[in-house]
Structures are given as structure tokens and as C-alpha cells.
A = this chain, B = another copy of it.
Amino acid sequence: MRTWTISELSNEFGITPRAIRFYEDEELIQPTRVGQSRVYAARDRARLALILRGKRVGFSLDEIKEMLDLYNVKDGQATQLSYTIKKFSQRISMLEQQRADIEHSLEELRGARARLEVLLGEKQPHRKPANDDGHGRLIGYSMNAAARD
């Protein structure tokens, strides 16, 4: 089975070797050694991928570590199992909330962009002064929804 060096992985994932070693210090990955050099197996590479995705969705390294550890639950007691299940359920709710936040942000940004494009369309072709009092604001949805100034 194939293995990887630290620089191979750092190139593949677009991170620095320093970062990878840091994840090891924090016990998120445990590569083997050949001499003093680290050797990464497919398992380590997969964990790295999970770590980076975890980061992209906003988990801290500690949280990611906890989740990775939860994946490794074996011959656990039923109590341990239901604890783990609860933990996963919590994470799931968090992500669902976050997805909703993202939907809202996307709506907002798209709306703002659309309005900007209208402005641009008015200004660019004919240098028409546009429907603008000169000091009006470009307003976002919830800016209007919540603010009444």
C-alpha cells in the first residue's frame, strides 16, 4: 500500500508541513516513522482530508479531534455509544443551523449584487446619472428588515 511524505501531502492539500506537524502535535493524526521521517498512510491522508473539511465548515481543531476520536469508538459500552450518538446529533444540528445561515447570507449577497448590477448598467452604457440622490445607501435585505432609521 502506498504511502506519502509530508511534502507530498502539503502540496496535495495546499497547506504547509508546519501545519501537518501541528495537527500531529495536537494528536489529530499519528503517522508512522521510518528513521526520523514521518510516513503517511492512506488512513492519515484521509484524516487530513477530514480535518481540512472540518476546518472549512468552521470546526475548531479540538472539535475535529473529538469527532475523529468518536469515529474510533470500539467495543464501547451502551452508555458510551449513546453519548457518541448525542454528540453527533449535536454536530448535525449545528451544521443545519449553519447551512441556514449560509442560505441567508447567499440571498443577501445575491440581492446586493443584483442591485449593484442595476446601478452599473445605468452608469456604464450612456453615463446616465442613475437613480441616486447622491448620498443614498445601497441597502441589504435584513438591513431594511431590522433597521428602520
Contacts and interface: CB of A to CB of B under 8 A. Distances in A.
Contact of A116 (B81, B99, B113, B142): B81
Interface string A88-108: 110110011111011111100
Given A54-B105, A74-B134, 10 more contacts: A41-B147, A43-B149, A46-B145, A57-B101, A57-B105, A58-B58, A71-B137, A71-B138, A73-B138, A74-B136
Interface of A: 1, 41-43, 45-47, 49-50, 53-54, 56-58, 67, 70-75, 78, 81-82, 84-85, 88-89, 91-92, 95-99, 101-106, 109-110, 112-113, 116-117, 119-120, 123-124, 132, 134-140, 142-143, 145-149
